[in-house]
Amino acid sequence: MSRGGRFGRYGEIKRMGRLRRSGFLSDPAARFQSLKERIRFGRKEGKGPQLRVRPVRQSDLHFVEELSGKVFEVYGPYRQWVSRWFKVDSAVTLIALHEERPVGFAMLGRFSNPAQVLFSAELLAIAVEPRKQRMGAGRLLMNEIEEIALSLGVNRLFLHTAKDNLPAQKLFRSCLFTPSELKRNFYPAGQDALLMFKDLLL
């Protein structure tokens, strides 16, 4: 893959096209209402009652942008791209709270290939405040993302993570994600990425 990777001139356009063609394109309010009926949003607790996950609110945009800039800037203009993903109806964003304050987020985008029976979704981004890591927020977000994907009929969940991001890889492996492919120069800054996946309906 070219140095532009998924952030190249056409890569992001293709990503947005897949999002628009996804099953998320029904009325977003109805989509979230359906999810609320099928999943106990906001009541997923981690290690003790001080840690929980809830659906995103518009007022969370600043937090998501700031955290993206803080933890992803080494890889490229993630603050800009995550902000775009936040605003599209075809992505679902969750917020992790510790003592009712945002400490992390995760974004899910769902895609389907008309030529295949398989319905797949991508973990677009997941981040936790550095000083709040190793508290269980990352795993709680991952667990909830998987539940949402299952509720939407997703068969396979995949993600990209930097080859040198060993802590993230450790989390994903512990969640039973399998390495699939090494993508050279995937990120705008030139880092390689590891593609990982997990089959949900086994």
Domains of the chain: 5-199 (3.40.630.30)
pLDDT exceeds cutoff 90 at 124? yes
Q: What is the pLDDT of residues 16-25, one digit of tens each?
A: 455 445 444 3
Q: What is the pLDDT of residues 50-98, one digit of tens each?
A: 899 999 999 999 999 999 999 999 998 888 888 888 887 778 999 999 9
Q: What is the pLDDT of residues 146-190, one digit of tens each?
A: 999 998 888 999 999 999 999 999 999 999 999 999 999 999 999
Residue 31 has a pLDDT of: 44
Q: How far apart are CA 8 and CA 3, in angstroms?
A: 8
Residue 163 has a pLDDT of: 95
What does pLDDT average to over the chain?
79
Question: What is the CA 138 to chain-centroid distance, rounded?
Answer: 11
pLDDT exceeds cutoff 60 at 29? no
pLDDT exceeds cutoff 90 at 101? yes
pLDDT exceeds cutoff 90 at 111? no
* pLDDT > 70 fraction of the chain, expressed in percent and rounded: 71
Contact 134, 104 (CB under 8 A): no
Residue 81 has a pLDDT of: 84
107's tokens = 């974004």
